[in-house]
């Protein structure tokens, strides 16, 4: 590092900073990238890739160094910044300019692909502009060799940036390919020309649904042509048609490199390198065996769903509205880094809560040393463990279903655990219809009892809790003037659903959503204690799920817009810790103990707003005070 002068910062990411630098005793300017040392594997991958690249549209790599706490990369300096900064200033570019930029990007991708490298993370912030307006591909942290049976295990753990990822990368066996890079290119070209990404959503599940099943807006009015263009409509139409091909849902329907070189971009794409394109064995097998071209994610004709017979027929009445999102998402565990998302799978292919920490927020909070409890008593074999909030005591309040009286044929837990997803949906639609159309409280209780018994199968719980089915359950549970027994059974079902689900779609920001409804019932002074206890237990399970989600990157799409513990809901739990009703206090204390045992201090912060309440929970825990839950 003593070869360079380091000047001002010119960019920054989650784990890195970029400075302008100059080689000593020369006028050669460089970009000096400082990366945290815990990103070693990603940096090594980036260095290995860049070191072998020699192309005018790939950023030059000069050297790298390692110091005690950081890794330093010496890279080509591009005074024009990145395309994201350019868009921030100009908002959008005319189609002819985007076409020329597309030629630069295609030239870079063509070079990579012919040398057996997939870029895997094409986005505006990863494309730099040099002094002459030439685009350079940068940020090779996720780049990889073409997947094969021998190198599959060496793939970077992250699949890319969600806004620019192709539909097939959101499924379990999806692999990167030439076609997935061209999809990302289509997203970038669309964004440069229109000023916005082709697919936008506030939450990750909604984004996945849009990418998989909706088409971007290609209306001529959102694009710009140059003032001197004699036929602007024709120019825009030809560009739109080319980009639309890149954004085909089925990867085999996207252009091949031969198609690209003879199509719209033929005048701006250089001749290919004098070497053939390497084969893509894993991708070819996936496309053939799984028939990606006709994958359900590409079916734009949704199956008919039952509607409530009362009120207007709206989208929210669709009982399994979210189930297609869940079907893709249930096989995927995501962990964002910067703007990227890791796709990995649990044992059962479902998203699970964070693994136990050794000393959760009990120790991270800083509150433990300030209490009067002997610190030696705080560390015990049970630390980091959790006990069910909705456990056997709550499940025991579940009514027994009279299966012979059901208006549909009952299925056993074993059968429902084995059936295909579509068959499960059809079966649950029958239960939904029965709840909607039968006003008899005893009949509804029997249906709810059936669902409560079957939702111990996680797949069943996932489908119900992540669909508009749960909206119907909440609607019935909010009715204070209805049958009290039915209301309690509905709360038992909601608690068991949250307990057994392995993935819960983030709540909508309205009072009718899951968490606000449970909190409202739990604090309803007019409700009987049993009803409040059931609501508080279900809320506790939900808040524990939320508090133990991964939070490595607060700026990532999933974590910034997905589940967070609402301070009002945390306060609802904390306020019940010293409640006169012993069972309410017990459910509250169990919730707090579970959260603080596993959640990070950041996630548990809403529960730590009142230190005296935490101290009370600690005292109860240390004294092993007996409760109705038989802790």
Catalytic residues, which ones?
121
Which of helix, strand or coil describes residue 33? Answer: strand
Q: What's phi and psi for 557, nearest 5 deg?
A: -60, -50
37 annotated as belonging to a binding site for a ligand: yes
Nearest to 321 by CA among 436, 450, 453, 432: 432
> In the chain, how many H helices and how many E strands?
24, 12
Q: Which residues of 341-379 are buried (b: 16+ CB within 10 A; e: fewer)?
A: bbbeeeeeebbebbeebeebbbbbbebbeebebeeeebe
| Cα–Cα distance measured from residue 507 to residue 491, given in angstroms and rounded to the nearest whole number | 17
Residue among 425, 204, 222, 457 at smallest CA distance from 319: 425
C-alpha 155/C-alpha 147 separation (Å) is 8
Both tokens of residue 401? 């279903």
User: Measured between alpha carbons, how far is 579 from 122 in angstroms, rounded to an integer?
Assistant: 55
Q: How far is it, in rounded angstroms, from Cα 167 to Cα 618?
A: 48
Reading the block at residue 220, the tokens are 């001529």
d(CA 400, CA 397): 9
Q: How far apart are CA 243 and CA 187, in angstroms?
A: 8
Which segments are annotated as binding site for ATP? 37
Query: Residues forming the annotated binding site?
Result: 37
């Amino acid at each position: 590092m003593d070869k360079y002068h380091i000047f001002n910062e010119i960019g920054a990411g989650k784990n890195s900073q970029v400075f302008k630098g100059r080689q000593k005793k020369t006028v050669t300017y460089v970009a000096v990238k400082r990366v945290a040392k815990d990103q070693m594997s990603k940096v090594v991958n980036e260095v290995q890739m860049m070191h072998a690249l020699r192309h005018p549209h790939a950023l030059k790599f000069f050297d790298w160094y390692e110091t005690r706490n950081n890794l330093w990369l010496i890279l080509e300096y591009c005074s024009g910044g990145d395309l994201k900064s350019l868009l921030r200033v100009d908002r959008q570019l005319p189609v002819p300019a985007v076409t020329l930029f597309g030629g630069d990007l295609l030239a870079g991708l063509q070079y990579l692909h012919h040398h057996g490298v997939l870029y895997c993370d094409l986005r505006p912030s990863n494309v730099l502009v040099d002094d002459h307006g030439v685009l350079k591909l940068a940020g090779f942290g996720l780049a990889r060799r073409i997947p094969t049976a021998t190198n599959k295990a060496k793939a970077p753990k992250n699949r890319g940036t969600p806004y620019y990822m192709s539909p097939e990368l959101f499924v379990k066996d999806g692999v990167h390919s030439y076609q997935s890079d061209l999809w990302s290119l289509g997203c970038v070209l669309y964004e440069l020309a229109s000023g916005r990404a082709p697919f936008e959503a506030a939450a990750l599940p909604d984004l996945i649904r849009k990418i998989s099943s909706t088409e971007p807006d290609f209306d001529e009015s959102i694009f710009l042509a140059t003032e001197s263009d004699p036929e602007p409509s024709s120019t825009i139409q030809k560009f739109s048609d080319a980009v639309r091909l890149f954004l085909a849902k089925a990867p085999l329907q996207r252009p091949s490199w031969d198609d690209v070189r003879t199509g719209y971009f033929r005048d701006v794409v250089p001749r290919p390198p004098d070497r053939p394109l390497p084969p893509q064995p894993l991708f070819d097998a996936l496309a053939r065996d799984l028939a990606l071209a006709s994958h359900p994610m590409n079916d734009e004709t949704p199956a008919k769903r039952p509607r409530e017979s009362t009120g207007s027929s709206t989208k929210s009445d669709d009982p399994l509205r979210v189930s297609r999102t869940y079907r893709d998402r249930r096989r995927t565990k995501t962990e964002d880094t910067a703007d990227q998302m890791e796709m990995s799978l649990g044992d059962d292919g479902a998203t699970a809560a964070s693994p136990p920490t050794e000393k959760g927020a009990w120790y991270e909070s800083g509150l433990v040393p300030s209490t009067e409890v002997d610190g030696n008593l705080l560390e015990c074999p049970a630390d980091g463990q959790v006990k069910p909030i909705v456990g056997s005591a709550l499940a025991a309040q579940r009514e027994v279903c009279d299966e012979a009286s059901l208006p549909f044929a009952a299925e056993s837990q074993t059968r429902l655990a084995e059936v295909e997803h579509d068959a499960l949906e059809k079966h649950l639609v029958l239960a939904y219809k029965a709840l909607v159309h039968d006003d008899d409280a005893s009949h509804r209780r029997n249906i709810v009892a059936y669902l409560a018994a079957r939702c111990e199968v996680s797949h069943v719980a996932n489908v119900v809790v992540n669909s508009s089915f749960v909206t119907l359950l909440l609607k019935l549970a909010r009715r204070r003037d209805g049958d009290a027994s039915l209301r309690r059974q509905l709360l038992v079902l909601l608690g068991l659903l949250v307990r057994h689900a392995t993935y819960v779609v983030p709540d909508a920001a309205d009072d009718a959503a899951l968490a606000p409804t449970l909190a409202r019932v739990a604090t309803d002074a007019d409700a009987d204690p049993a009803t409040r206890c059931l609501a508080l237990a279900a809320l506790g399970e939900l808040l524990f799920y939320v508090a133990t989600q991964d939070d490595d990157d607060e700026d990532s799409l999933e974590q910034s817009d997905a589940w967070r513990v609402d301070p009002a809901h945390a306060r609802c739990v904390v306020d019940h810790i010293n409640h006169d009703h012993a069972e309410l206090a017990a459910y509250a204390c169990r919730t707090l103990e579970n959260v603080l045992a596993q959640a990070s201090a950041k996630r548990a912060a809403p529960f730590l707003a009142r230190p005296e309440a935490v101290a009370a929970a600690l005292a109860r825990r240390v004294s092993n005070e007996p409760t109705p839950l038989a802790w």
